[in-house]
Copies of this chain bind each other. A is one copy, B any other.
Amino acid sequence: MATKKGTDTKEKIFNAALKVFAKKGFSAATTAEIAEEAGVAQGTIFRYYKTKKDILRGVMIEYVDKFDEFADFDSIQKIIEDNAEKPLDEILKLIVLNRYKAFKKNFHISKVIHYEMQFHDDIMDMHLKKCKEKEGLVMKHILQHIDIDEDKYKKLGQKSLSIIFTSMMFGMFFQRLNGVRGNDEIPIEKEIDIIIDVFFNGILKR
């Protein structure tokens, strides 16, 4: 019970911090504003996090977990299995849409991590480690299925495919989610259709 209450408070602080960090950046955020946003007293924060920097570390740790969820192979695997009979590009579209939704859901936290990473080596290290660990696997999943038709597709190697695919995917995600573009223009499904079609067409042998 007591533990539950403590957990609740910590969660309120965490969410408030995340919100304020996302809005102002870590440095410009004040613990006072976080406390207000969380609806707790200023001192309460320091019962759950030793320092302000510690909150950021907490965010990172949470992010790592979210990242696992984000790069959640079970759901990707499930998509592949459930649509085994469909052509590869159709499957990929479903995967990308699934990824987009996961990304969008965790965008807040991603944004904070990506911005702060640059300035905090420890955060950077945690992130890169996590990335290396997962990134390859996502592509391997894709490649596994591409490799089967090696007569049909160009032989580009994982690295190159990875560059192209992730560039397109994340480039598009960021453009959409950062409000760089007018938001409502093209629905995400349509955009994925176009981008995957070009990608797939692009890697075809000719």
Which A residues are within 8 Å of any B CB, using their own CB?
23-28, 111, 115, 118-119, 128, 131, 156, 159-160, 163-164, 166-172, 174-175, 178, 180, 185-186, 191, 194-195, 197-204, 206
B-chain residues with CB within 8 Å of residue A24 when the two chains form the complex? 27, 119
Tell me which residues across on chain B come within 8 A of A128, comparing CB atoms. 180
On whether the beta carbons of B164 and A167 are closer than 8 Å, the reply is: no
- In the complex, the count of this chain's copies comes to 4
A109 to chain B, nearest CB (A): 14
A198-B199, A201-B204, A202-B199 are known contacts. Are A186 and B167 too (CB-CB below 8 A)? no
Instruction: Give me 6 other A-B pairs in contact (C-beta within 8 A), A156-B198, A159-B186, A201-B204 excluded.
Output: A25-B118, A163-B175, A169-B171, A198-B199, A199-B202, A201-B202
Contact, CB under 8 Å: A195 / B119: no
Partner of A166, one of B175, B197, B199, B203: B175
Q: Please tell me which one of the listed residues B26, B166, B191, B202 contacts residue A202 in the complex, with CB atoms under 8 A apart.
A: B202
- CA A24 – CA B175 in complex, angstroms? 24
Closest 7 pairs between A and B when the two form their complex, measured CB to CB = A202-B202, A167-B171, A171-B171, A27-B27, A198-B202, A27-B28, A201-B202
From A111, A169, A175, A200, residue with most partner B Cβ within 10 Å: A175
Q: How far is the CA of A128 from the CA of B200 in the complex (A)?
A: 32
Q: Pick the contact of A119: B28, B160, B172 (CB < 8 A).
A: B28
What is the bound-complex CA distance between A198 and B167, given in angstroms?
12
Do A160 and B194 touch across chains, with their CB atoms under 8 A apart?
A: yes
Contact present for B168 and A168 (CB under 8 Å): yes
Q: Which residues of B contact A203 (CB under 8 A)?
A: 198, 201-202
Residues in B with CB closer than 8 Å to A118 are: 25, 111, 115, 178
